[in-house]
Amino acid sequence: MNQNHKLRVAVLASGRGSNLQALIDSCRSGEVDARVILVISDNPAARALELARKNSIPATVIEAKGYHSRHEFNTALADAVERSGADLVCLAGFMRVLSEAFLERFNGMIINIHPSLLPSFPGLNAQKQALEHGVKVTGCTVHWVDRGVDTGSIILQDCVKVEPDDTVETLSQRILKQEHVIYPKAVQLIASGAVKAPVR
């Protein structure tokens, strides 16, 4: 695919940005026919911003506290994404639920990665939920974002065995390794046209 016609990806991240780095690396290697064109964070201390700058990717901070309402904050996010010309929005540890107005504006363009085998253990602390329920297998899921929390159509999943001596930290680390594998694969499925957003 010609560089100018690669899928243009905007990444929203609140923290360390390890999934962002996995996406950047897979795009650079040619494994994924896409390029990350913008990183947005709601946290000025997010390592994701530093990773973006190191990789010469435009990065911007949009903090919720700078706006009078959730609607204004989401409008600012949406405006920034729209200006970038992104074809796909990837949530990579973005710790805010996007408003319905944002979702409508980018209908069929937003995906997320979640550290469980959805529909099991949606929401926060999925790894802790898995351990508390005593499951033997958990994993990670890439899904389309809809109006619910972690309820959108599933694109790709991978399993991670739960070890008897696992803690939240050890389980989280192994799941994260698999996230770094399947998130780029999911983006490539979209870039190649093999997967399309569900019709709403």
Which residues form the catalytic set? 114
Extract the tokens encoding 172: 């989280």
Sheet of 88-91, strands arranged across: 59-61, 34-41, 7-12, 88-91, 110-114, 137-144, 154-161
> What is the C-alpha separation between 169 and 166, in angstroms, rounded?
8
What are the residues whose beta carbons fall under 8 Å from the beta carbon of 29, sequence distance 6 or more? none
Residues in the chain, how many?
Answer: 200
